A and B are shown apart, each in its own frame.
Chain A
Amino acid sequence: MAEEADDRKPFLSKKIDKFFTGLADAWNFVRRFWQEVFLPPYEFKEVIHQCYRIGVESLPLISLTGFIVGIVFTNQSRPSLSEFGATSWLPSLISIAVVRAMGPLVTALIAAGKVGSSIGAEIGSMKVTEQIDAMEVSATNPFKFLVVTRVLATTLMIPILVMYTDFVALIGSFLNVNANELVSLSTFFVQIFESISFLDIWSSVLKSLLFGFTIGIVGCYKGYHSSKGTEGVGRAANSAVVISMFLIFIEELLVLQVVNAIRGM
């Protein structure tokens, strides 16, 4: 059933009501996703199409950013380490920083900007031009076709993009380290793999899954609930980015606490 106009009367003040009804709507949206994701029909073709759009089309931006992050972080860390004569620790430091935090965070923030806004704007524009209604009256479930596929695609693709960013950032870092400290590729990567643990990799992957889900579901939610014509579409795209980024930082903080607790066991 299409979303009807919000005709609820304010219970407290309008703003407080809006906040809580918004939370309830968002909760119902997430719940609906988990209900629909396991039910047939499965839109495999559309999931693959969205994976391509989200993954492959983000590669140039992710590559450039990852590479620059690797070089810049290495350059910025060198002076501090050289004060203690510890520049040989650069590969270890960089790998831990990139795999544990910077790779997932940078990728997720870029994806929130690029993918989240695009999902919000696309679904928002479909909503205001009645394309979602058109899908519904042709007996197609628009939630399944538009929301489930996009959320699945972001959830699957962000971890892959994160691993790719990690790799590119480490390559950038290697080029910098190689030019300054004359460290070979094999020595560089041996040091990296000695520094990072399976827990680092698993926590990075799990965190990326969470980030991917957040970017997808927030973008879809904002698009699906956009209104007021083109202004509403712009707002949907904008708030999809802002809310995704905010949630990504909170999730990063929470996952960090959990992983540190596991590490301390």
Chain B
Amino acid sequence: MSNKVVEIRGLYKSFGDLDVLKGVDLDLFREENLVVLGRSGTGKSVLIKIMVGLLKQDKGQMEVLGQEVSNLTQKELNALRLKIGFSFQNSALYDSMTVRENMEFPLVRNIKNLTKKEITYKIEELLDAVGLPQTINQMPSELSGGQKKRIGVARTLILNPEIMLYDEPTAGLDPITCVEINNLINEVRERYKTTSIVITHDLACAKMTGDRMAVLLDGQFRAMGTFEEVFPHAEDRRIKSFYDYNFIES
């Protein structure tokens, strides 16, 4: 792995008096699954939202696929966004649209000249990939939490992204569905050759999906490496307690 996909240097972000990110440095390599761990409110989601231009950093460099995100024009930013799939914590499926319309939405807006047949083929292919072909005409309100997550992932995959960002993919799901979602994350990487960042505080999810862990504490990455390198023999008391709470409590 030598190809850098994301390069972050000295990234700062604060909201009012609250400093969330305080000089974050990170490299992400092609086809790697990086898991960003940390307690709630440590700025994990803020980090990936800066990556897609939903938030703007106060200071520092955020280079994605060779482009500095904060310097891009709206048109350039949109072109970059097409290469990044963002799976939201609550799936963020459009309530007023069916599953088919949800998946059509990014496709018809960004890829012109597709026939109806091609669109349907693409949608069905992805619904098959996430194991939910039968939901195509259902409304999001008729789906379970796990199904929504899967459809959310399928919707982001429809534009063939190079990078996948998963924001708390297993939050609020039962343990069996969590394992299914973790498997899906791994399948997506293998099948579509994506590079991923998984934001979570679920160590089981981290262990299953991550090649590398990065622990965000006090606005900076305090530990980085494989699961075995970072846990369970961490010297930092906070990282150790994070591990203990996740595994001992469960």
A and B co-occur in one complex: yes
B109 and A125 form a contact (CB under 8 A): no
Contact A129 B106 (CB under 8 A): no
For residue B171, CB closer than 8 A to chain A, the reply is no
A sample of 13 inter-chain contacts (CB < 8 A) reads A1-B54, A1-B56, A2-B54, A5-B16, A125-B95, A129-B90, A130-B88, A130-B89, A133-B54, A133-B88, A133-B92, A138-B159, A139-B81
Find residues 74-88 in chain B having any chain A CB closer than 8 Å to their own CB: 78-79, 81-82, 84, 86, 88
Interface status of A178 (Cβ within 8 A of chain B): no
Distance in angstroms between the alpha carbons of A125 and B16 in the assembled complex:
25
When C-beta atoms are compared, the residue in chain A nearest to B13 turns out to be: A4
Residues of B within 8 A of A140 (CB): 105-106, 109-110
In the complex formed, the residue of B with least CB distance to A125 is B95
A140-B105, A140-B106 given; 17 more Cβ-contact pairs under 8 Å? A1-B54, A2-B55, A6-B16, A8-B16, A129-B95, A130-B88, A130-B92, A131-B95, A134-B92, A134-B93, A134-B94, A136-B54, A138-B81, A138-B159, A139-B79, A139-B82, A139-B106
A131 to B54, CA, bound (A): 13
Q: Which residues of B contact A6 (CB under 8 A)?
A: 16
B34 at interface (Cβ–Cβ under 8 A)? no
Contacts of B199 in A (CB 8 A): none
Q: What total count of A-B pairs have CB within 8 Å? A: 71
Which residues of chain B are near A134, meaning CB under 8 Å?
86, 88, 92-94
Q: Is A23 an interface residue (CB 8 A)?
A: no
A1-40 contacts to B (CB < 8 Å)? 1-2, 4-9
Could you tell me the distance between the alpha carbons of A126 and B106 in the complex, rounded to whole angstroms?
16
- Residues A4 and B56 in contact in the complex (CB < 8 Å), given A139-B82, A140-B106: yes
In the assembled complex, the CB of A53 is this many whole angstroms from the nearest CB of chain B, namely 10
Q: CB distance B159 to A4 under 8 Å?
A: no
Is B53 interfacial (CB 8 A cutoff)? yes
Residue of B nearest to A131 (CB): B92
Report the interface size for chain A: residues with CB under 8 A from the other chain. 22
List which A119-172 residues lie within 8 A (CB) of chain B: 122, 125-126, 129-131, 133-140
**A-chain residues with CB within 8 Å of residue B159 when the two chains form the complex:** 138
Find residues 68-106 in chain A having any chain B CB closer than 8 Å to their own CB: none
Instruction: State the Cβ distance, B30 to closest chain A Cβ, in Å.
Output: 21
- Separation of A136 and B88 alpha carbons in the complex (Å): 12
The answer to whether B16 and A126 touch across the interface, beta carbons within 8 angstroms, is: no
Question: In the complex, how many angstroms separate the beta carbon of A99 from the nearest chain B beta carbon?
Answer: 36
CB distance from A14 to the nearest CB of B (A): 13
Question: What are the interface flags for B1-27 relative to A under an 8 Å C-beta threshold, 1 for contact and 0 otherwise?
Answer: 000000000000011100000000000
Contact A137 B89 (CB under 8 A): no
Closest B residue to A43 using CB positions: B109
Q: Give, as a whole number of angstroms, the nearest-CB distance from B18 to chain A.
A: 8
Q: Are B54 and A137 in contact (CB under 8 A)?
A: yes
Asked if B52 lies at the interface with its beta carbon under 8 angstroms from chain A, I say: yes
Q: Give the residues from 216 to 243 in chain A that come closer than 8 angstroms, CB to CB, to chain B.
A: none
Q: Which residue of B lies closest to A122 (CB)?
A: B96
Would you call A129 and B92 a contact (CB within 8 A)? yes
Q: Considering the complex of A and B, which 8 residue pairs feature the smallest CB-CB distances, nearest first?
A: A138-B106, A134-B92, A139-B78, A7-B16, A130-B92, A137-B86, A2-B54, A5-B15
Rounded to whole angstroms, the CA-CA distance of A230 and B53 in the bound complex is 26
Q: Do residues A137 and B15 form an inter-chain contact, with CB atoms below 8 A?
A: no
CA gap between A131 and B105 in the complex, in Å: 12
- On whether the beta carbons of B16 and A9 are closer than 8 Å, the reply is yes
* Residues of chain A contacted by B110 (CB below 8 angstroms): 138-140
Asked whether B92 lies within 8 Å of A139 as measured between CB atoms, the reply is no
Q: How far is the CB of B69 from chain A (nearest CB, A)?
A: 11
Distance (whole angstroms) from the CB of B184 to the closest CB of chain A: 18
Q: Pick the residue among A4, A8, A129, A131 that contacts B55 (CB under 8 A).
A: A4
Question: CA–CA, A203 to B96, complex, Å?
Answer: 37
Contact assessment for A137 and B81 in the assembled complex, using a CB-CB cutoff below 8 Å:
yes
Assess the A131–B56 pair: CB atoms within 8 A.
no
Contacts of A122 in B (CB 8 A): 96
State the CA gap A130–B78 with chains docked (Å).
Answer: 18
**Chain A proximity mask over B112-139: 1 for CB below 8 Å, otherwise 0:** 0000000000000000000000000000
A-facing mask of B37-54, CB < 8 A → 1, else 0? 000000000000100111
